[in-house]
């Protein structure tokens, strides 16, 4: 069960990482896509994107642990959440090290 949880947590964390990369690419190219002018729709788009991002990443990080917890598999739920947070911390460390090395 532990191996299954660690693989699931890695996949969830990779999903979050890939989603964040996609959003970062979107932000990097937003001026090319929409122009540099600010208008009324831009804050709406940003807030909608914030809500969508929180929902997607929340589902990836918390979805399965909540389901396990509600199925009375509390230990597995806590482990899955902890493993997922651990993998996300590894991705943060890799990103920070990469930034320092590219400096």
How confident is the model at residue 103, as a pLDDT? 86
Total tally of structural domains belonging to the chain: 1
Q: Is the CB of residue 9 less than 8 Å from the CB of residue 76?
A: no
In whole angstroms, what is the distance from residue 51 CA to residue 71 CA? 28
Q: Which domain holds residue 17?
A: 2-30+50-102
pLDDT in tens, 48-93: 999 999 999 999 999 999 999 999 999 999 999 999 999 999 999 9
Angle at 67 between CA 91 and CA 65, to 5 degrees: 25
Q: Does any domain span residue 39?
A: no
Q: Does any domain span residue 58?
A: yes
Q: Does any domain span residue 42?
A: no
Q: Is the CB of residue 87 less than 8 Å from the CB of residue 13?
A: yes
How confident is the model at residue 32, as a pLDDT? 86
Cβ atoms < 10 Å from Cβ of 64: 20
Determine the distance from the C-alpha atom of residue 96 to the mean position of all C-alpha atoms in its chain, rounded to a whole number: 16
């Amino acid at each position: 069960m532990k191996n299954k949880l660690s693989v699931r947590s890695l996949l969830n964390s990779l999903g979050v990482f890939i989603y964040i990369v996609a959003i970062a690419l979107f932000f990097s190219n937003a001026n090319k896509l929409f122009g540099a002018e600010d208008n009324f729709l831009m804050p709406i788009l940003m807030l909608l994107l914030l809500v969508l991002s929180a929902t997607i990443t929340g589902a990836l990080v918390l979805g399965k642990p909540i389901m396990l917890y509600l199925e009375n598999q509390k230990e597995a739920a806590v482990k899955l959440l902890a493993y997922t947070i651990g993998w996300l911390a590894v991705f943060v460390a890799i990103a920070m090290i990469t930034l320092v090395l590219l400096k």
